Amino acid sequence: MTSTALQGISRLVTNDPTRGAGLLGVVEDAAVVIEGSTVSWVGPRSELGPADQLVDLGGRCVLPGWVDSHSHLVFAGDRSAEFGARMAGAPYAAGGIMATVGPTRAATDEELLARVQRLLAEMIAGGTTCVETKTGYGLDLVTEVRSARIARAAGVDEVTFLGAHLLPPEFAGDADGYIDLVCGRMLAGVLPEVSWIDVFCESGAFDEDQSRRVLEAGRAAGLGLRVHGNQLGTGPGVALAVELGAASVDHCTYLSPQDIDALAASTTVATLLPACDLSTRQAAAPGRALVDAGATVALAANCNPGSSYTTSMSLVVALAVLQCRMTVAEAVWSATAGGAAALGRTDVGRIVAGARADLHVLDAPAEDYLAYRVGVPLTHAVWKAGTRY
């Protein structure tokens, strides 16, 4: 197998504190060897052995590729008018999801697939190499199953069933009937394509009992659990996620002190979505308090047409620093290793021998530039599973 050595790395963020300094395990003046789709060696350039090919990165900083553990890429249509109304003072509400359901149901598989592929290309161009995405804009049996198949066919790394995103109008006044469908035929239909189940546990979407039914049905079917919770106000989402041992509870914008303590004492990752909070004019999520309490925090872009139409994880990291008051090291860790933890993966989110060769080369000498030069596109090159993009 051909080996490619990358050298001329000013700072290599390994996320392996046994390899280098600090939380990020930084190795200075480093080299990395890629063989096939994996990293085969990491260390100081002075110890680099012979390799078939040599790439000099000119003194740039290298990070693990971003792990974006929360997105909604399978949709059709556009909600720029809703965004404009919001900027003129209208509040964001869960019900906006329905504006995307009609166009998604009406779109062909080819149209939906093309959109997912476009967004994935945008993500990789910005340094994102591992992506989770959800169904949830179909809300009927046929479109939820199509959405799951399309996400899988597009090559998304992790696919999540979010049939319980909102109550569709056909079931108005019969939420329990809809939950029966989600936990029954819909779950059975999507099962071959998905590894996770999620529920929007929020006022205006599903309550605690309904959310519990969805999560328990998913768990009984062998799926991992994720929860949308505490996005628009405090509520039961975080406590339910922790109680059921969910891998992740996402949004976490409005947390009580008890929620923070519960997350800190649990294995549930608190996934923050700062670009969503920005775009919906919510408060900044309590990143500092979560980290100080000892919770595991992930950061994700939440790309979707309503609350956060961005794929930029570099922006997310800058916002986590500037608005959620995390340090750059904490934010970079949360957008790489934290995302991997939220997805239960050990092969991504770090640069160590044996990991998938997912690397993000910044056109900057250090990771601090992500927040210091906020808004400036700093991605110089990306390797995903050993292939350069």
Contact map string, positions 58 to 77, toward ligand NIG, x by CB under 6 A? --------------x-----
Burial degree of 289 (CB within 10 A; 0-12, 13-18, 19+)? middle
The DSSP symbol for 283 reads P
Contact map string, positions 157 to 176, toward ligand NIG, x by CB under 6 A? --------------------
Please identify, using beta-carbon distances, which residue of 40 and 231 lies nearer to ligand NIG.
Answer: 231
307 binds ligand NIG per the rule CB under 6 A = yes
Please identify, using beta-carbon distances, which residue of 40 and 100 lies nearer to ligand NIG.
Answer: 100
Paired with 32 in beta bridges are 6, 42
Please identify, using beta-carbon distances, which residue of 66 and 137 lies nearer to ligand NIG.
Answer: 137
Can you tell me the distance from the alpha carbon of 221 to that of 20, in angstroms, rounded to the nearest whole number?
41
Smallest distance from the beta carbon of 307 to ligand NIG, in angstroms? 4
The number of residues that bind ligand NIG (CB under 6 A) is 14
251 Cβ contact list (under 8 Å, min separation 6): 228, 229, 230, 231, 237, 271, 272, 273, 276, 285
114 Cβ contact list (under 8 Å, min separation 6): none
Q: Which of residues 5, 6, 33, 97 is near ligand NIG by CB under 6 A?
A: 97
Tokens 């199953």 found at = 145
Smallest distance from the beta carbon of 308 to ligand NIG, in angstroms? 6
From the list 305-313, 327-335, 352-360, 373-381, the region that binds ligand NIG by CB under 6 A is 305-313
| CA atoms within 13 A of residue 369's CA, in its CB half-sphere | 16
Closest CA to 351 of 328, 333, 326, 374: 333
The answer to whether the beta carbons of residues 61 and 365 sit under 8 Å apart is yes
Residues belonging to the chain: 389
Closest residue to ligand NIG in the complex (CB): 306
Please identify, using beta-carbon distances, which residue of 200 and 369 lies nearer to ligand NIG.
Answer: 200
Contact map string, positions 26 to 65, toward ligand NIG, x by CB under 6 A? ----------------------------------------
Residue 311: other Cβ atoms inside 10 A: 27
From the list 44-52, 59-67, 94-102, 255-263, the region that binds ligand NIG by CB under 6 A is 94-102
The answer to whether the beta carbons of residues 280 and 86 sit under 8 Å apart is yes
Site for ligand NIG in 191-220 (CB under 6 A): 200
Smallest distance from the beta carbon of 352 to ligand NIG, in angstroms? 31
| CA atoms within 13 A of residue 66's CA, in its CB half-sphere | 32
Q: Which of residues 189, 235, 306, 386 is near ligand NIG by CB under 6 A?
A: 306
- Helical residues (DSSP H) of 72-206, grouped into ranges: 80-87, 98-106, 109-125, 141-153, 175-181, 187-190
96 binds ligand NIG per the rule CB under 6 A = yes
In the chain, at which residue ranges do the beta strands (DSSP E only) sit?
3-13, 26-35, 38-44, 53-64, 66-68, 128-134, 158-164, 196-201, 224-229, 248-251, 269-272, 297-299, 359-362, 379-384, 387-388
266 binds ligand NIG per the rule CB under 6 A = no
Please identify, using beta-carbon distances, which residue of 195 and 310 lies nearer to ligand NIG.
Answer: 310
Smallest distance from the beta carbon of 252 to ligand NIG, in angstroms? 12
Please identify, using beta-carbon distances, which residue of 82 and 330 lies nearer to ligand NIG.
Answer: 82
Contact map string, positions 283 to 302, toward ligand NIG, x by CB under 6 A? -------------------x
From the list 42-50, 57-65, 304-312, 363-371, the region that binds ligand NIG by CB under 6 A is 304-312
Please identify, using beta-carbon distances, which residue of 39 and 270 lies nearer to ligand NIG.
Answer: 270
Smallest distance from the beta carbon of 172 to ligand NIG, in angstroms? 19
Can you tell me the distance from the alpha carbon of 66 to that of 241, in angstroms, rounded to the nearest whole number?
24
For 328, phi then psi, to 5°, come to -60, -40
Please report, as ranges, the residues that interact with ligand NIG according to CB under 6 A. Answer: 72, 96-97, 100, 200, 228, 231, 276, 302, 304-308
